[in-house]
C-alpha cells in the first residue's frame, strides 16, 4: 500500500514538473502572443475548456503569458 501511495505521489509530481517545463512559446504555435484552447489541447495540456476559461482572466479567448504561467501553478 505504501508503494502504491508513493507511486501515485511521484506520478503527480512528474506531471506537475512536465507542465512547469512547458514553455509559453512552444504552446503558442502560431506565435501570435496568445495561447488558444485549441493550441493548449494540441500541446497536450490537460485542461478542460472550463479550466481554460477560468485561467483567461480578461476573457479575450486566449491566455497571455502571465495567464498561462498562472494556470500552470
What is the architecture, at CATH level 2, of domain 2-72?
Orthogonal Bundle (1.10)
Please name the residue that has the C-alpha cell 503569458: 65
- Give the chain's end-to-end CA distance (angstroms, integer): 29
pLDDT tens digit string along 23-64? 999 999 999 999 999 999 999 999 999 999 999 999 999 999
Q: Cα separations (Å) of 24 from 2, 4, 8, 69?
A: 37, 33, 27, 8
CA 11, chain centre distance (Å)? 16
Domain extents in the chain: 2-72
pTM for the complete prediction?
A: 0.71
Amino acid at each position: 500500500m505504501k508503494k502504491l501511495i508513493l507511486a501515485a505521489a511521484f506520478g503527480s509530481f512528474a506531471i506537475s514538473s512536465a507542465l512547469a517545463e512547458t514553455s509559453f512559446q512552444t504552446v503558442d504555435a502560431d506565435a501570435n502572443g496568445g495561447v488558444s484552447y485549441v493550441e493548449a489541447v494540441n500541446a497536450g495540456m490537460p485542461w478542460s475548456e472550463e479550466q481554460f476559461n477560468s485561467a483567461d482572466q480578461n476573457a479575450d479567448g486566449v491566455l497571455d503569458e502571465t495567464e498561462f504561467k498562472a494556470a500552470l501553478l
